[in-house]
Structure 1
Amino acid sequence: MKAVEPRRCSPSLHDVSEQKSTTGLPGPTLDPVTAHPAGKAKYGRFRAFLRAVSVFIYFASGCVTIHATQLIGAPLYYANRDLYYSYMSLTKASFGLLITTMTQWWAPTVIRMSGDASVADQLRLAPDGRVECAFPERMVMIANHQIYTDWLYLWWVGYTNNPSMHGHIYIILKESLKRIPVLGPGCIFFGFIFMSRKMAVDQPRLAHRLRKLKTRHTDPDGESYLNPMWLLLFPEGTNLSGNGRNKSARWAAKMGLRDTEHLMLPRSTGMFFSLNELKGTVDYVYDCTVAYEGVPRGKYGENYFTLSSTYFQGRPPKSVNFYWRRFALADMPLDNQEEFDKWLRERWYEKDALLEQYVSTGRFPENAADIKGHIETEVRTQYWWEFIKIFVMLGSFGLIFSFFLRTFRALARG
């Protein structure tokens, strides 16, 4: 694990944009020979092809297995809704294990975390080198959207949480993804929210899904409770790109707003509506600022960390960096859309300053907690054999069905 020399204090967000490197760490620059933040490809065309085939087989077989398990359990919806949602959360946890193990085996990635005082004591390093988070069971998580696989690393954070939350994550997706075979229907069973980006169409369906997420249940002792929930939102609406940055700059100029350098200006409408719907059942919004090591100033991670580069060529990000902050809903102007829009935009200016520090120094501010420096770990499961859980449920159904089929045949012959 790389040691980071601790500083006595972290710079304020207002000073970050003027700061130069004080850590002795180089900012993200590219080797002119390799021209890629992760260096040269580790595998040639043939080996990259074999890796692509193996990744596809593992991912496809896992998705088919999980979806078949969902279909078998679908009738529970009409028998017992609470049991149905618990069952589907297990299949969602299986998908979380699938993408985590896929990344662990084919694209091993270092994760470097820190956070401000609002998340002090909620991030710790376990004796075996894993990170353990202690975030609440119900929250809204927001993040800047750097590349398509941001959600994959953030989903893994749910796995690291105590208690584990990777079976209770909800993501808002583009409606077109529903049409992807197996994966689309699987996400419907997961309870993910599909949006057309037309608020007149999206608002009723979003309200319907959020009402389900704030429904109270009753346990056998008569106690009322809410199901765990992490709702992941990307207020920028899409991942960062040259086209997106240009649109954001034009919008800022049109509206007379200060633009950002490392982000796109956020859209507040969907988040404002979601937080008002969930008010009273969620206390905090957790904000994650995401940065990928080595992406040079003015460039975009999506141009480097493609599926082929990350999983097939052996060029995953050298590190994915998270900086966490927490905001209480009680402190947000949720009674006024215009005021909330200003509030969210100010948070994005702060994130832009954080990213300026990262681009300049190669590090986010250090932890504002007992742990000095940054927590450094890898995307991995706690136990090597956990991937077996993906296939256990369907395998168990197969064994049971086989047993009853053999018993029926024996009785028929007798």
Structure 2
Amino acid sequence: MAFLRYVRIVARTTFAVVNNLYCIPAYVVWMMALRLVRPLFAPLYWKIEGLMYHWLLAMVSMWAWTAGYEIIETGDEPAACNGRRTLVLANHQSTADVPMLMAAWNPRPGILPNLMWIMDRVFKFTNFGIVSVLHEDFFIQAGKSKREQSLEDLRQHIHKWYIPLARQFIVLFPEGGFLHKRREVSQRFAEKNNLPKLEYVSLPRAGAMKVIMEEVGPHRDQGASTSKENSKKDNNFNQSNAKLIVESNVGESIEWVLDVTIAYPDRIPLHLQDVVCGIRPACATHLHYRLYPSTEVPADTEGMTQWLYDRFVEKDQMLEEFYRTGKFPTKGSGPHLTRVVRQDNLKYLILHIFFIASTYIQFTMARAIFNYFW
């Protein structure tokens, strides 16, 4: 049995490498080719890009699905966010968090093509980094010395891409790092500042959320702290690049805050190598959703920070109960979601055929061009 398990791990790893080789370059080549006509057909370009971006993320969801890593969604129904600008807040435990979110949202229409990830800059230099660059996700730099500049870059990025492209979902991990790296620092900070010492999450940082809510929140006209000079610059940018705006019914400001609590079995998080190689035995990951109208978030810095702290204190309490009982606590009397995420194997097959065919066509065209000139 041990031998077969190692064979399976090697086979899955080999498949993942090959899968990357015929999917990511195909996406990049098509997008780079279409960039030549983007100035003339910007809405069509971004529609195609969003679709192909979703297809690539579907490949990642397939890795988790075929490894037997089931996802169970509970809590509020996130479908209420469809067609609305939404800030997604999630706790951060491991490198598997993003793939599991991709897998959970893959069957839900309209989410993956229309989201913007806020991720550590290190991710930019991975195999998937070029995809995120072309999709205009945002890479934030860690460290005190770069924090202020990163937040200002985020402010500009929102006006340059998030708003004009009518993106709906913006995904943020407010803890600023993995739990095992942040817990001890968080607890020392909590003790020093008379804040709750959290065990299952760490105290969040409110800087990025503050920027987002200032620029596209419901109180942005009241609480925005950008200077008149920056505002004028942003307005001039948007006017000169109006052709980049994708027509959509999405509102002008964020209407919902979707709070996602990720819980792994036995407090042991999955990791990217598990998702890719299937190292860990099959198990279920739980995603618990809570929806808040964005108008509930205070506009002032102190109030917003306290609101965010309260959410993570609740997360800590919910995770404590989950690890003790196997269930998340219910809240309120409204309808609550309990759903096992199911993937579409036929869709996976069609996507494999598309990317393999794309790779073949692109290789044939490249060889023909090479032979013509040389």
Q: Normalised by the size of structure 2, how large is the TM-score? A: 0.78
- Give the 3 Å change call, closer, same or farther, for CA 51–395 of structure 1 in structure 2: closer
Q: Any unmatched runs of 5+ in structure 1?
A: 1-39, 124-132, 217-225, 410-414
Counting only pairs closer than 5 Å after superposition, residues 126-145 of structure 1 correspond to structure 2 as 133-137=79-83, 138-145=85-92
**How far, CA to CA, are the matches of 2:274 and 2:47 in structure 1?**
36
Which protein is bigger by CA-based radius of gyration?
1
Structure number with greater CO (CA < 8 Å, separation at least 6) is 1
**How far, CA to CA, are the matches of 1:73 and 1:43 in structure 2?**
45
Residue 320 of structure 1 corresponds to 285
Q: Check conservation: 2:60, 2:99, Cα contact below 8 A.
A: yes
One of 184, 195, 212 as aligned partner of 2:140? 195
**Cα offsets for 1:266-289 (capped at 9, x unmatched):** 101111111221124220110011
Counting only pairs closer than 5 Å after superposition, residues 335-350 of structure 1 correspond to structure 2 as 336-350=300-314
- Give the 3 Å change call, closer, same or farther, for CA 366–203 of structure 1 in structure 2: closer
**How far, CA to CA, are the matches of 1:207 and 1:400 in structure 2?**
43
Shift of 1:103: 2.2
3-state DSSP of counterpart to 2:295: helix
- Give the 3 Å change call, closer, same or farther, for CA 183–374 of structure 1 in structure 2: closer
Shift of 1:175: 1.8
- Give the 3 Å change call, closer, same or farther, for CA 240–44 of structure 1 in structure 2: same
Q: Normalised by the size of structure 1, how large is the TM-score? A: 0.71
Shift of 1:189: 0.4
Higher mean displacement: 389-398 or 61-70: 389-398
Q: Check conservation: 2:187, 2:197, Cα contact below 8 A.
A: yes
Residue 16 of structure 1 corresponds to none
Shift of 1:355: 0.4
Residue 114 of structure 1 corresponds to 74
What stretches of structure 1 move > 6 A for 4+ residues in a row? 367-373
Residue 208 of structure 1 corresponds to 156
Q: Check conservation: 2:107, 2:343, Cα contact below 8 A.
A: no
Q: Which amino acid aligns with 1:319?
A: A
**Cα offsets for 1:150-175 (capped at 9, x unmatched):** 111212333232x3322122111222
- The percent identity for this pair of structures is 21
Counting only pairs closer than 5 Å after superposition, residues 15-414 of structure 1 correspond to structure 2 as 43-105=4-66, 107-115=67-75, 119=76, 122=77, 133-137=79-83, 138-161=85-108, 163-180=109-126, 183-197=128-142, 198-213=146-161, 215=163, 227-241=166-180, 243-279=181-217, 280-295=252-267, 300-301=268-269, 305-316=270-281, 318-334=283-299, 336-365=300-329, 374-380=338-344, 383-388=347-352, 390-391=354-355, 394=358, 398=362
**Cα offsets for 1:231-258 (capped at 9, x unmatched):** 11000111211x3211111111122211
**How far, CA to CA, are the matches of 1:320 and 1:70 in structure 2?**
34
Residue 128 of structure 1 corresponds to none
Q: Which amino acid aligns with 2:70?
A: V
Q: Check conservation: 2:73, 2:337, Cα contact below 8 A.
A: no
**How far, CA to CA, are the matches of 1:154 and 1:238 in structure 2?**
16
Structure with greater helix percent? 2
Q: Which amino acid aligns with 2:290?
A: R
**Cα offsets for 1:305-335 (capped at 9, x unmatched):** 334444425425511101111111112112x
Shift of 1:52: 1.5
Shift of 1:179: 2.9
- Give the 3 Å change call, closer, same or farther, for CA 397–135 of structure 1 in structure 2: farther
Higher mean displacement: 88-97 or 386-395: 386-395
